[in-house]
Amino acid sequence: MVNSTHIEYKKRMINTWNEIAPRYHKRWSDKNTGPFQSTQKLVSMAKIHRGNIVLDIACGTGAVTRQILAKIGKSGHVIGLDSSQAALAIAKKSIKERNADFAIFDAENFVFSQKFDVITCQYALFFFPNASKALYNIKKVLKKNGTLVLAVHGAGDAVPYFSSILDSVQKFIPDYIPSGAPDLDRFGTRENLKKAIIQAGFSKVLIQEHKFWYSPGTFSKYWSDYHKYLAKPLREKLDKLDQKQKAELRKTILEKTKPYTKNGIIKFPWKVLVLSAKNS
């Protein structure tokens, strides 16, 4: 059955990523720092060999795709799949190798006639409203004994970069996260992630928990950058608060960041789960 809330959510996601892809690329995925130290961990956990055929689901601007290419050599082939045209355009611009292709697809609705040795998916599983459907699709196109690797953020306070702002903002703007949006934290613990992958029929599940560090600078820089890199619909909601509410919100967030602040500079821990599983 088609779920209209999911369709609305996906339309918003496509618009959001089409808007923010250039900023996301510049600030995050093009740098292997902070949470993006996971890219190297993920690719190494995948044990990719020369000549492998690899699918990079929700490849975005190509952070993982690029590292896959270095492993497969000229005899391999990688396909990057994403639902955002703008993200794919950036990936295509910087990845010119003839054995890399990109395709615009929804992770819950794609078909390939070929099967893959390895499938990767970094920082996207939680965005799929029907993640079990995406996992079902993944399993269908993964070779027998093929490997799935994915990375997700830790839940709640395991990533205070997100929680310091989100917990506070939601007190002031209860509909900040629109209704119908999936819970982005639902795979952010070892137990929940493992359960979802086993339920989808994968086996030999291994999970690495990493604690990376990320410094957004001073509190003022953290808060102003958050605003600057935000998608327009959310920025508009924040901008509607009156001066008093804005000041109170800023103060609430400031308090949340204090445990991570030393000499005026914030340094956040950032938990990331990297999983590998087999289609056996």
Ligand X SMILES: C[S@@+](CC[C@H](N)C(=O)[O-])C[C@H]1O[C@@H](n2cnc3c(N)ncnc32)[C@H](O)[C@@H]1O
Residues at the contact surface with ligand X, assessed by CB under 6 A: 10, 13, 17, 29, 58-60, 63-64, 82-84, 87, 106-108, 122-124, 127-128
Which residue lies nearer to ligand X by CB, 128 or 219? Answer: 128
CA angle at residue 76 from 111 to 56, to 5 degrees?
A: 45
- Which residue's Cβ has the minimum distance to ligand X? 60
User: Considering the complex, what minimum distance in angstroms separates the CB of residue 39 from ligand X?
Assistant: 6
Which residue lies nearer to ligand X by CB, 64 or 169? Answer: 64
Which residue lies nearer to ligand X by CB, 101 or 106? Answer: 106
User: Considering the complex, what minimum distance in angstroms separates the CB of residue 265 from ligand X?
Assistant: 25
Which residue lies nearer to ligand X by CB, 124 or 197? Answer: 124
CA 111 to chain centre: 22
Which residue lies nearer to ligand X by CB, 63 or 200? Answer: 63
Which residue lies nearer to ligand X by CB, 166 or 265? Answer: 166
User: Considering the complex, what minimum distance in angstroms separates the CB of residue 240 from ligand X?
Assistant: 26
User: Considering the complex, what minimum distance in angstroms separates the CB of residue 94 from ligand X?
Assistant: 12
User: Considering the complex, what minimum distance in angstroms separates the CB of residue 128 from ligand X?
Assistant: 5
User: Considering the complex, what minimum distance in angstroms separates the CB of residue 22 from ligand X?
Assistant: 12
